[in-house]
Amino acid sequence: MNNAQDVFKKMLSLMERDITPITIATWFEDAVAVDLTEHSFVLYTPSEFKKEIISQRFLTVLSSVLKELFNGEMEIFLICGEEELAAYKAASSEKLDRSANDYYTFKHFVVGSSNRFAHAAAVAVSKSPAAAYNPLFIYGQSGLGKTHLLYAIAGEIEHCYPNYRILYIKGDDFTNELITSIQSGPDAVRTFRGKYRMADLLLVDDIQFIAGKERTQEEFFHTFNSLYEARKQIVLTSDRPPKEIKTLEDRLKTRFEWGLIADIQPPDYETRMAIIKAKAMLIDFSLPEDVMQYLAGIITTNVRQLEGAVKKIKALNDLMEKEINIELAEIAIRDIFLENPGLNPTAGLIIKEVSNYFSITPDRLISLNRAKDTVFPRQVAMYLVRELTDSSLPEIGKEFGRDHSTVLHSINKIEEMIKGDSVMKNTINDLKTNIREK
C-alpha cells in the first residue's frame, strides 16, 4: 500500500464485508484515489450525483476502513468534475519555493523586545496549525521581519507535515491572479478558487493591498471562510492592524481579528547589535566592535538594511581588500542607497511613484495644470520630497516649477490632512512603502 490507489483497492476489499460487490461497483467503479497524506484521503468521482451519494451513504464506512488500515482518524475529501480535480492538483503542486530562502527560519530570526510577541505567536502556529491562533495577523513597517516569520512558519510546518499544501502569495499578486482567471473564463475562476480553498496553510504577505478592490475582497472573504471552517491555518501580514486599513471591508476586518494580532516594532539598539553579529557569524565574517556600533547607531528602522550593510562590507573587504573600519562602513551604506534608490530617494523617483499611484503622468504632475486631480497629487509629492530627501524648499520648488511659498503651503496642507484624516495618513504610508521598496 505505497500509494493512494493501492490503499483505495484495499478499502474496497474491506468494504465488501458490509456492502455487496454490485453496490460497490455501481458507486465506486469510476472513482479514483487522488491523494493520500498523513491525515487525509482524497477521492475523485466524475459525477456530482455520485459524490452526493457517497457523501451521504458511504462516508462512514470509508472512514471506518481507513481507520482500520492506518490505526487513526483520517479526513476524507470528495471532489468531482475536471475543474475541481484541476484545482486540487494546482494547489498540491504549487509548493512554496524555499530553495533560496533557507535563511528564513526561526533559528536565524533574532528575537528582541520589539518582536518577541510576534515570534512567539509564529512558533505556536507552526507547532499547532489552526489550533493555536487562527488567523495569525502580523503587522509592522517594511523591513522588520514579517516575511521572515512567514517563511519560518512555512518551513517548520513543511518539516512536521510534509504533505501539507502550503501556499504563499502577496496581496497584490492575489488580485492579479484573480484578474487573469476572470479574463480566462469561468473554468479558470473555479480553478483559482479551488487552488486557494484547498490549501492546508495559506500565507498572504501585505494583505493591505487587497483593500479597496471589491471583487478581490469578495473572493478572499469566501476563501477565508472556506479555510477557516475547514480548520486550515491562515497567516496574514500587513503594514498596519486591520482596523487601520480604512478601505478594507468591515467583514474582513472582523475576521482578521478573530485570531491573534501581533505587531513588530523597529528593533532597539541591543537587538540591532544582535542582528549585525548574527549576520556576520552566518557568513563567517568578523566585524570590529566600533564598526558594529556605527552600523547599529546609523541604521535604526530596517533589518534588511542592517543585513545588507554587513554583506556589503564583506564584499568590499573580499574583492577590494579594503581595511574593515568605519570609513569602509560609510562607503557600504552609501553603496546600499545607490543600489536601492528607494532607501535614499530622489525627487524624480518620488514624482514617478506618486504619479503612478494617482494614475497621472509625471509631466502632468509638475505642469501648471490646476485641476483638482492634479493639484492634490502634486501637493502630496512635494510633501514626500520634503519628508524623504534633504532638499530645501527652494530646491523642491525648482523640481515642480514653483516658488518656495507654494511648496510650504502644500506641505502644511498635507500635514494638516494627515492629522485629521486616517485615510490620508494611510495613503502617505502606502506611498512611502512603494518608494522605499524600489
Asked if residue 277 and residue 141 are part of one domain, the reply reads no
**pLDDT at position 99:** 47
Return the pLDDT at 289.
92
Helix (H) or strand (E) holding 263: strand 260-263
Q: Are residues 63 and 180 in the same domain?
A: no
Domain identity same for 366 and 327: no
CATH number of the domain that residue 333 is part of: 1.10.8.60
Residues 276, 259 share a domain: no
Whether 163 and 247 map to the same domain: the answer is yes
State the pLDDT at residue 1: 42
- Give φ, ψ of 248 to 5 degrees: -90, 135
Say if residues 214 and 108 touch (Cβ distance below 8 Å).
no
Co-location of 247 and 300 in the same domain = no
Distance CA 237, CA 140 (A): 8
In a domain, 173, yes or no: yes
Could you tell me the residue range of the domain that residue 408 belongs to? 347-436
Do 208 and 71 fall within a single domain? Answer: no
Nearest CA-CA partner of 237 in 111, 95, 135: 135
**pTM, two decimal places:** 0.62
Same domain, 150 and 282: no
Q: How far is 20 from 26, CA to CA, in rounded Å?
A: 10
Residue 411's CATH number: 1.10.1750.10
| CA–CA distances in Å: residue 120 to residues 203, 379, 411 | 17, 42, 41
> In this structure, are 143 and 209 located in the same domain?
yes
Query: Cα(first)–Cα(last) distance of the chain, in Å?
Result: 52
Q: Which three cell numbers stand for residue 202?
A: 495559506
Q: What pLDDT, on a 0 to 100 scale, did the predictor assign at position 343?
A: 59
H-helix or E-strand containing 137? strand 136-139
Q: Could you tell me if residue 243 is inside a domain?
A: yes
Q: Angle, nearest 10°, between helix axes 303-320 and 326-339?
A: 110
C-alpha cell read off for 279: 549576520
Q: Is residue 104 part of a domain?
A: no
| CATH number of the domain bearing residue 134 | 3.40.50.300
- Domains identified in the chain, total number: 4
Q: Is residue 327, in this structure, part of any structural domain at all? A: yes
Last residue of a domain, one of 66, 82, 98: 82
Q: What is the mean pLDDT of each run of 10 residues along the chain (438 residues)?
A: 77 90 90 78 86 89 88 80 65 51 82 93 94 92 88 91 86 87 82 83 92 91 92 93 88 94 91 91 89 86 84 85 85 69 76 89 91 92 89 89 91 89 84 75
Residues 128 and 203 in one domain: yes
What pLDDT shows up at residue 414? 93
Residue 92: inside a domain: no
The total number of residues written for the chain in this structure:
438
Which residue in this structure is represented by grid cell 525648482? 398
